[in-house]
Amino acid sequence: MNRRALLIALLLAVMGGTLLAVYVRRFEQEASGGEKVRLLATKKTIERGAVITEDALGVREVPMAYVEERAIKAADLSKVVGLRVGMTLAAQQTLMWSDLSVASDERRDLSSLVQPGSRAVSVIAASNDKSFALIHPGDYVDLISTMQQTKDPAADARTAVVLLQRVLVLAVGLDTEPRVDREGQGKAQRDMILTVSVNLQEAQLLSLAVERGRLSLALRNPDDPRVIEGIPDMPASALVDTKARADVQKLRRSGPIKLGSEAK
């Protein structure tokens, strides 16, 4: 009986140690950004318009939490070899789908930039919105919807809603090339259309927002993966509410508190 009890205790100790090791490994992975993803990176400088060769690329392992949607995985090497780059790439730079030129005239096909599971949705800016001129393909933006809560135009019942955060810009006007020069009135008109990458449910939300009110854009740092949770809607009354304005300034001084997962 004592031998059986000792054997059971030994088995329980082994199981406990195994579970503890699994837990510690999972905790370490989460703390470091999750499992590593193998991404393609440049071994040397690749000039704009040059053809990508296999010897010019290497593999870089990046924690899953820090992988950008437009990053190219090592498994897709065969898809990019032989294509041209639309911009000069420095050595040791992670290769992005937005870096490539996939058409003969070096203007990329928009559909080829849409990653599996995502959709390209175009947003039209108001005629007085000049912020589009500062945004380029490959940038990330937050989308804010301003809508009227009542049908009475005399009542100022507007509300600003943070609709989507960290949304990838695929195209500005007809341009899919990062950092292209846009000059002339014709191109200024095309800049009023912005195409972003969202999932299907986000596309539904965006469609409703476009019908309901006006969209504004907030350009963000491409290396910032954070998403702020629990942002309350802001009514127009906050503009004349001293306490509400003070609360906003207080958040600015203290910085965001709740941070969520990386956006799509």
Residues 17-70: pLDDT tens digits? 777 777 666 666 555 567 888 999 999 999 888 889 999 999 998 888 778 777
Indicate the range of 99-108, 208-217, 220-229, 236-245 predicted with least confidence. 99-108
CATH code for 34-107? 3.90.1210.10
Residue 43 sits at the vertex; the CA angle it makes with 40 and 44, to the nearest 5 degrees, is: 130
Beta bridge mates, 198:
119
Nearest-angstrom CA–CA distance, 255 and 257: 6
Return residue ranges of the chain for CATH 3.90.1210.10: 34-107
Nearest-angstrom CA–CA distance, 193 and 127: 11
| Mean pLDDT of the 233-259 span | 74
Task: Tell me which residue has tokens 């989507």.
Answer: 164
Percent of the chain residues past pLDDT 70, beyond the cut: 74
Residue of 25, 57, 54, 34 whose CA lies nearest to 44: 57
pLDDT value for 262 = 42
From residue 28, how far is each of 14, 31, 32 by CA, in Å?
A: 21, 5, 6
Percent of the chain residues past pLDDT 90, beyond the cut: 12
CB 172 within 8 A of CB 128: no
Residue partners of 60: CB distance under 8 A and separation at least 6 = 38, 39, 40, 41, 94
pLDDT, mean over the chain: 77
pLDDT value for 131 = 61
CB 135 within 8 A of CB 194: yes
